Amino acid sequence: MTEQLKTLLNCGRPWAAHRAQTALDVKTAFDNGEISESEYKELLQDLVRTDKLDAEADDMETKALLVTGIYALLQLV
């Protein structure tokens, strides 16, 4: 599940790399008990909110990979 996000870290698209790193950081914080489940879900959902993401996304394949990876993290809870 995190493999998709790790792939995006070096994809050459700063908007995707930043969001992927943020998602991985949120997952680590949740795993370490630093944030609650509701905070975890809200932070991850913020990363894929359509209006914000559509404004930055310049490649649909990369966007789909990012969204899929983040939704996979959401399913873990």
| Residue 8 CB neighbour total at 10 angstroms | 23
Give residue 72's pLDDT: 93
Q: How far apart are CA 68 and CA 70, in angstroms?
A: 6
In whole angstroms, give the CA distance from residue 8 to residue 16: 6
Average pLDDT, the chain: 91
CA dist list (Å): 77 to 7, 14, 35, 51, 72 = 22, 28, 13, 25, 10
Residues 6+ apart with CB under 8 A from 9: 17, 20, 21
Say if residue 52's pLDDT is above 80: no
Q: Where are the domains positioned within the chain?
A: 2-74
Provide mean pLDDT across the span 31-53: 91
Q: Output the pLDDT for position 1.
A: 65
Could you tell me the pTM of the whole model?
A: 0.87
Q: Is the pLDDT of residue 51 over 90?
A: no
Mean pLDDT of 48-52: 79
